Structure 1
């Protein structure tokens, strides 16, 4: 039950005779009844504090109200000073019109303050300027009223700023101050937590200057305490500032400050107090805790909520508790109930364990508490609850420590996640024997699975591998993880096989297999045939087709033929929003919906402005055109009326444009109409339901951490009351929870009689729920199709008819920001494996499709060949192997042709033996697109098998490695060093970064024809080499203060790679593929037309062309290129426009220079020059000393995105 004082502070009205500790800060409230001639018998009753009554009466009298009838007091409330314009009416009625003239504008901005506080503040500032010119003495009450408006909407930042403006006005204009009124204002804002520390300090100085030290102490003490009780933590020097006032007032400083601290301890704001406050107040707190058991108990049970993500202030707090002699109260016998923990020692410890990132002091404390905790036999609950997903987090070292000491641990009440990063990245200089070898944790069945999951996320990260070396538990867990990944090769369909390969390739090295030779033997047994068989047997995306969309594409590209595959039409793009699709070549556009062609349009693009994006809305095209990100947008029927917008080339099907009754299109948020100027167009929102009559918007309630569904006004875009469509509401059952993010309800276009996703009354719908008791998921389509699954998460959004059977395939669709269908997965009917995973660009899983599509568009798909699908449902493993054998021979023949035509224009690859084998398996197959889809997935499977065999050969533990980096834990230094240099480090966690660098060097030197390095290592190679001396100079200064030696480890390993011994010329440049496709063509010709090699964004392409050697990586913009040549000139790339090109670097074996500098830094590092040195040099160069120092230390942070390393005032001449 809240105390009366707490209710008052919250703004409540209390009964007049309520007993309060301090009546000085309250006002009595009376009911004032006003009458007005225009209102007849109606009476306006206002509840007004008596001290503000005069202003209220005057305000209403200006509006024609008569003198009020007063009843009261009827309540009491927290004191509030006279507001605006009441203050002006009471104290200066002659000039009150200036205030009244501003009331209407003031009220308008007050209403706007909640949604646009910044705009409202600017408007208030303009009003203040007007008042300052004529009636400056109104400004304090005006700004205080501004503050009250912001307090009313819980915006303490602007409220505090407004209060400061009021005090500033008093000083600037030299206004005469009524101290009683000002004190009331300070008290009012302090209780609201909106008085800054500087404002209180300035107020105290003014009071002291007035000559009454006792009053200054009394007022400032009261304000400081009330400010904290109002919700703001005390500032760092509060006790020190108050001690100065107490001393001036002739009081016993220690006694007074201890009493202040005692009162503050009751405030809920104290857990948010900075550690600086406790440092300043430490001696008074220690004396207080020694003499007051209740104060000691409050301190012991306080868990700080301050500090950073990596290191909470809770651990500094434990050190303070130790200093004050309180910490052992948490477990020792003989401690009074008031001074001890609330609840048991185990409960107290559980609260600390929930903080996260524990420090060494907690580990030491746990050891001291162990006997007591075992004696009490009350389980510790050492889990932190994630506020967003309710997942439990726990620290690996702490859990293992508790288990090793025999302390009882409660079972986790929910999904447990162990953070491996906090295990191998210990942010604690005092840590002892950490990271631990979690032997006890690995043996406990409650935690072993979570430990395996944590290892799965971190294995392959250099820092983890370094920390795990020599730890018995980690050896076993890593072995089990590796074997489980290899096991997937034999159990998964093709997407799972692909994922397992990606994991093995990215997270293992030769050293891994040397450590686990038995795992390598199993890896060599991995074959793709069984995985391909599962994919073919369960269903391919290409067994379905959307005839209207395919016809639209073929209008631009020509008829699809398996015997003469069309050239990739990069200028034909797909846009649109459900249920529409727009196919365009940048000149004309065809719009399709369902099984109909809606229309053909000529795009009216501005001259010289290429198409960026187009949407079909309400019968017209909304077109975006431009060369860069800043583009013009316009309706195609009115191209002359354009507006500026920001747009990426984000082709794909995205969002909704559902035709609305009465015109317009619903876009997921509101209805928009063709021709609307400055429209945002269609967003990516799919968070709504529509039953043909009404709309609902879905969202997330952060307070309750639950999904929500609210009725939606589609015209205004405003949400109403919470409710659900009947289709979803009917699915609610006892002990279940609707999974709204997996539910859907939307209309189908007219003319769709059958949908492979199921339909009823012109609607497509899906609903899903989770049973909180059995943890089972149940899902149903609107036509009754259903599935029940016990998987950890219901990841699919629909159930697709499986061609050739009556079973259903769960469909998982993740809509991306830039390309709407980067991931569309078909699951097996039992939902155990993913069988196909088509992406936006046609590839291995959808070679027969013109483009990838979001799952909602599957409503428009039709089965291409029912007979062929039935045959695939019964395909045998032997049939699959026959197809693979045929494809393998075709690929060998293609490789031979490439060798013969190396450097010449490549021909499109053909697969005659595979085509013949497919024809034999499916003799009546008439759909060329299905044939292409079957061929594509088989060719992809063979290429995956070849890639796996290549990795096996390169990783063979028995193979002699050409380069050996012998520096201990070298790769663990990479992320640290790159972060110090402000360079990109995402992807630098590789367990073999320096060996990868060495493989690049071998290729550039002609000792190898290929590289074994991922895209990150190749992409940063040029920077590492060209800036090696500068980086070393920078690093030795950065690392000096804390004795960091990781940079030396980094450079010792870099020297072993040979990268700094290269001689020749090096340059880097990037190519935008969309603006210049010639470079892509050059690459395709150089590698024999292997599109898969060119487009792989996780690997690099190595090739020689002319006298140059190229290392090329791919990203969303195009290509990043490092070119190396030993000749005097680079190989000309005719007709290619590069951007972001670096100055060519002459490499002349800088290894010796770097080695000498490293040796020097080990023995006698350079001394930091004196300030006089910088001043002397600066004078001669006519620069400022700071600029000279900046240059001397190696341009730290130069080129860092979003920063200006040299401020403007430093760049000015000295």
Structure 2
């Protein structure tokens, strides 16, 4: 933590500011992704005593010097450090100038063409793409080792215009050039580039799988696994969820390295779970690592709390998918944190979890289908929910208020505190859907009907259901039939009143 000019920069603040493009005071952070910002001064005989001053990240300083030297500008020896910025990987033409200055003129000769094509990329992306491809062919004949950074630069041009399709295509060309020309790969630089394009949404699964093959081909098995693991964790930390075939790719590398699969998978999954992007992990991730999560939760009890924080958006939208997640919570022991059967239960708020779970199960809709596993878990949670006294919100939906009738009845029957919907809110209870649901666990709705607000919800739901001419199911239900009689009596009274006025 650093204090500068009365303002304190902790690591979280520093990281957020760097990501936003801020310039931090010198020495603010020791993060690996931070770079010094330098002031570089240049002179030229044609400028008399006037000087050109450039603010340049330290990593790119040498490339900047070489580029301006090509134009005849000489740098003053003094270089001041005035701040910190986010570290950038060397691109094109900077990489060429730093790593092969003797052939740097080939790169500099393309700068004007690159700038011209960059101006076309938004309005005429097809023409720009063809132009970059033609330049790439030209460059490849003279200096093929410049191709990866050139194609990456072309990809960045399209990223500026949110054209991830063309960006991904040129990123793929960069990797293809490495393979075709058997180029030496700077592992640290390539990892940074992969992460950059992953964060921008331009890293395809195909590119990742090709990367796995390339790592296995050019590195020792242990090094390949270490590189892949680091990229995978950083990619997830950057906001991208694990991809569908990640478990299979990881297992192949672990096996090749001769490492213990359970140990390595536990460490990998623990790191991935720590990322917010884990909530969007696909079903294949949870299915493949189901047994791993059981082992991991036994070794690291905090993992159970993390699983309760997650509402798995990438798992699926069916009741079966929801109940798979509840089964996973049970197998890992996370459910015991909700029911109070675990000594560390106080760290988890069951009302908050149930509120989030009820909303999650609607999957963007207003109501959800019956879930026997949910009802069974909530039955076990009711005592703790009552004891803590925090209200549970079962009604909030994405667009309209609604509730799972069986869950609502269970909570009312067990005196679980509920947060009522706002005054005047129309609560949607889909009786037709509820009556057609054949899953076990249907409740008799006695508790809902006995509650003043609950009965009014049922009354309104019966009225809406009757409009579709489907009263048989309602009339055949003991509790709903009673509510239906009330509704019919009121409807008949309204008709009589209308007839009297006539």
2:314 is matched with 306
**Match of residue 414 from structure 2:** 405
Which aligned pairs between 1:464-479 and structure 2 lie closer than 5 A? Answer: 465-479=471-485
**Alpha-carbon separation, structure 1, partners of 2:261 and 2:221:** 14
- What is residue 446 of structure 1 aligned with on the other side? 453
Give the secondary-structure state (helix, strand or coil) at the position aligned to 2:289: helix
Closer/same/farther in 2, CA of residues 439 and 8 from structure 1, 3 Å limit: same
Using the alignment, how far apart are the partners of 1:319 and 1:220 within structure 2?
31
Q: Do structure 1's residue 377 and structure 2's residue 389 form an aligned pair?
A: yes
User: CA 1:108–1:248 in structure 2 vs 1: closer, same or farther (change >3 Å)?
Assistant: same
* Equivalent position of 1:101 in the other structure: 112
Partners of 1:39 and 1:308 lie apart in 2 by: 69
Alignment equivalent of 1:260, drawn from 268, 275, 279: 268
Q: Does residue 1:458 correspond to 2:465, yes or no?
A: yes
In 2: Cα distance, 1:491 partner to 1:177 partner: 90
Match of 1:134 in 2: 138
Say whether 1:419 aligns with 2:424. Answer: no
Native 8 Å contact 2:375 2:441 kept in 1 = no
- Shift in alpha-carbon separation, 1:324–1:467, aligned structure 2, 3 A: farther
Indicate conservation of the 8 Å contact 2:199/2:240, yes or no. no
Distance 1:158 1:286, change over 3 A: farther
Q: Counterparts of 2:197 and 2:356 in 1: how far apart (Å)?
A: 34
Alignment check: 8 A CA contact 1:310 1:427 kept: no
In structure 2, do the counterparts of structure 1 residues 41 and 276 end up closer, same or farther at CA, with 3 Å as the change threshold? same
Q: For 2:244, which of 236, 249, 274 is the aligned residue?
A: 236
- Compute the displacement of 1:379 (Å): 2.3
Alignment of 1:855-894 (within 5 A): none
- Measured in 1, the distance between the counterparts of 2:89 and 2:437 equals 50
Corresponding residue to 1:184 among 179, 182, 192: 192
> Displacement of 1:382 after TM fit?
1.7
Q: Does 1:200 align with 2:205?
A: no
List per-residue Cα deviations over 1:1008-1061 (Å, max 9, x = no partner).
xxxxxxxxxxxxxxxxxxxxxxxxxxxxxxxxxxxxxxxxxxxxxxxxxxxxxx
**Where do 5+ consecutive residues of structure 2 fail to align?**
1-9, 363-367
Counterparts of 1:384 and 1:341 in 2: how far apart (Å)? 25
Q: Say if 2:391 and 2:416, in contact at 8 Å, map to a contact too.
A: yes
- 1:393 match: secondary structure: coil
C-alpha deviation, 1:94, in angstroms: 3.4
Say whether residues 1:335 and 2:350 are aligned partners: no
Instruction: Quote the Cα distance in structure 2 between the aligned partners of 1:188 and 1:421.
Output: 46
Indicate the SS of the match to 2:240: coil
Task: Give, in angstroms, the shift of residue 69 of structure 1.
Answer: 6.4
**CA distance 1:335–1:417, change in 2 (3 Å):** farther
Alpha-carbon distance change, 211 to 201 in structure 1, aligned in 2, over 3 angstroms: same
Distance 2:37 2:374 in 1: 52
Q: Is the Cα contact below 8 Å between 1:303 and 1:314 reproduced in 2? A: no
With over 3 angstroms needed to count, the CA separation of the structure-2 counterparts of 1:57 and 1:296, relative to structure 1, is same
1:993-1012 pair list within 5 angstroms: none
- 1:484 Cα offset (Å): 4.6
**Contact between 1:31 and 1:73, CA under 8 Å: does it hold in 2?**
yes
Write out per-residue CA displacement over residues 24-50 of structure 1, whole angstroms, 9 at most, x where no aligned residue.
Answer: x554442334567569857543232x3
Matched ranges for 1:613-652 at <5 A: none
Task: Give the distance between the partners of 1:304 and 1:425, measured in 2 at CA.
Answer: 25
Shift of 1:65: 5.0
Residue pair 1:395, 1:419 contacting (<8 A) in 2 also: no
* 1:635-692, Cα deviation, whole Å (9 max, x unpaired): xxxxxxxxxxxxxxxxxxxxxxxxxxxxxxxxxxxxxxxxxxxxxxxxxxxxxxxxxx
- Partner Cα separation in structure 2 for residue 34 and residue 381 of structure 1: 65
Compared CA separation, residues 365 and 54, structure 1 to 2 (3 A): same
Secondary structure, aligned partner of 2:38: strand
Deviation at 1:100, TM superposition (A): 1.7
Aligned counterpart for 1:349 among listed residues 354, 365, 378: 354
TM-score of the aligned structures, taking structure 2 as reference length: 0.81
Once the two structures are TM-superposed, the CA of residue 17 in structure 1 deviates from its matched residue by: 3.5
Asked if structure 2 preserves the Cα contact closer than 8 Å seen for 1:128 and 1:139, the reply is: no
> What is the aligned length?
476
Check whether the contact 2:386–2:417 (CA below 8 A) recurs between aligned residues. yes
Q: Which whole-Å CA distance do the structure 1 matches of 2:23 and 2:298 have between them?
A: 39
**1:227, CA displacement in angstroms?**
0.5
Instruction: Output one character per residue of 1:58-80: Cα deviation in whole Å (capped at 9) or x when no partner.
Output: 44455665536664544445443
Q: Which has the larger radius of gyration?
A: 1
How far did residue 194 of structure 1 move?
4.4
**1:1024-1173 paired onto structure 2 within 5 Å:** none
CA displacement, residues 375-396 of structure 1 (integer Å, 9 cap, x when unaligned): 333322223243x5xx433222
Instruction: Tell me which residue corresponds to 1:291.
Output: 299
Which of 358, 363, 379 pairs up with 2:375?
363
Check the 8 A contact 2:272/2:278 in 1, yes or no: yes
Q: Name whichever of 256-265 and 5-14 sits farther off.
A: 5-14
Q: Secondary structure at the match of 1:30?
A: strand
Deviation at 1:451?
3.3
Distance 1:374 1:425, change over 3 A: closer
d(CA) in 1 for partners of 2:107 and 2:396?
Answer: 58
Alignment counterpart, residue 324 of structure 1, candidates 332, 356, 362: 332
Check whether the contact 1:394–1:417 (CA below 8 A) recurs between aligned residues: no
Deviation at 1:409, TM superposition (A): 1.4
Note the aligned Cα RMSD (angstroms). Answer: 3.5
- Does the C-alpha gap of structure 1 residues 248 and 310 become closer, same or farther in structure 2, counting only changes over 3 Å? closer
Match of 1:558?
none
Contact 1:57 1:68 in 2 (8 A): no
CA distance in 2, matches of 1:423, 1:75: 65
Q: Cα deviations across residues 122-147 of structure 1 (Å, max 9, x unaligned)?
A: 24421222113311335432332244
Write the mapping of 1:538-937 to structure 2, written as runs, cut at 5 A.
none
Q: Is the 8 A contact 1:399 1:441 kept in 2?
A: yes
C-alpha separation in 2, matches of 1:486 and 1:43: 89
> CA-to-partner distance for each residue in 1:390-415, whole Å, 9 max, x for gaps?
x4332222212211222221222455
Give the secondary structure class of the aligned counterpart of 1:321: helix
| Distance in 2, Cα, partners of 1:53 & 1:409 | 62
Q: Using a 3 Å threshold, how does the CA distance of structure 1 residues 27 and 213 change in structure 2: closer, same or farther?
A: farther
- More helix as a share of residues: 2
Q: 1:59 to 1:334 in 2, by over 3 A?
A: same
C-alpha distance in structure 2 between counterparts of 1:45 and 1:57, whole Å: 10
The question of whether the paired residues in 2 share the 8 Å contact of 1:293 and 1:336 is answered with no
Residue-by-residue CA offset, 1:792-819 (whole Å, 9 max, x unaligned): xxxxxxxxxxxxxxxxxxxxxxxxxxxx
Mark the CA change 1:67 to 1:455 in structure 2 (over 3 Å): closer, same or farther.
farther
Q: What's the secondary structure of 2:276's corresponding residue? A: coil
For residues 953-978 of structure 1, give each alpha carbon's deviation from its aligned partner in whole angstroms, at most 9, with x where no partner exists: xxxxxxxxxxxxxxxxxxxxxxxxxx
- The verdict on how the C-alpha distance between 1:458 and 1:160 changes in structure 2, with shifts beyond 3 A counting, is farther
Are the equivalent residues in 1 in contact too, given 2:93–2:108 (CA < 8 A)?
A: no
Kindly provide the CA deviation profile for residues 206-228 of structure 1, in whole angstroms up to 9, marking residues without a partner as x. 22222522221111111011000
Which one has more relative contact order, counting CA pairs under 8 Å at least 6 apart? 2
Q: 1:51 to 1:310 in 2, by over 3 A?
A: same
Are residues 1:392 and 2:396 paired? no
The structure where strand makes up a greater share of residues is 1
SS at 1:349's partner residue?
Answer: helix
Structure 2 distance, partners of 1:302, 1:440, is 31
In the superposition, relative to structure 1, how do residues 69 and 466 fare at CA in structure 2: closer, same or farther (>3 Å)?
farther
Supply the distance in 1 between the matched residues of 2:306 and 2:259 (Cα, whole angstroms).
26
